[in-house]
Amino acid sequence: MAANQTTNNNSIRLILDKEKLNGSNFLNWYRNLRIVLRNEQKLHHLEEALPEAPPATATAAVRKAYTYRCRLCEQRQLQWQEALQVRPLPGGATFVHS
């Protein structure tokens, strides 16, 4: 079953490979991104805010899970920022987001 799910995820991800973000296709690209993330059960990363920090009385496991999720969100944010910095445009020009 896991191999079948991996194959399905890879097939769905081909949607994003087929239509790369180029500036003029944002709405289609964003719709496709949401389809892929929904299929991979990761759409909540875009739609949900981080939960509040656990209280000082929380168990070590709860604090560890919260810290892990915060680090994942920070990594995702850095990846998005890097992806937005330099964009190749048709004709060899480059768009630098500031």
- Chain center to CA of 54: 24
Which pLDDT does position 65 carry in this prediction?
92
Q: What is the pTM of this model?
A: 0.48
Tokens of 47: 């739609």
Rounded CA separation 57/64 (Å): 13
Domains of the chain, by residue range, sit at 1-48, 55-98
Cβ atoms of residues 16 and 32 within 8 Å? yes
Eight-class DSSP state of 86: E
Walk along the chain (98 residues) and give the pLDDT tens digit of each residue: 555 555 556 777 787 778 788 878 888 888 888 888 888 777 777 777 777 899 999 999 999 999 998 888 888 777 766 766 655 556 655 555 54
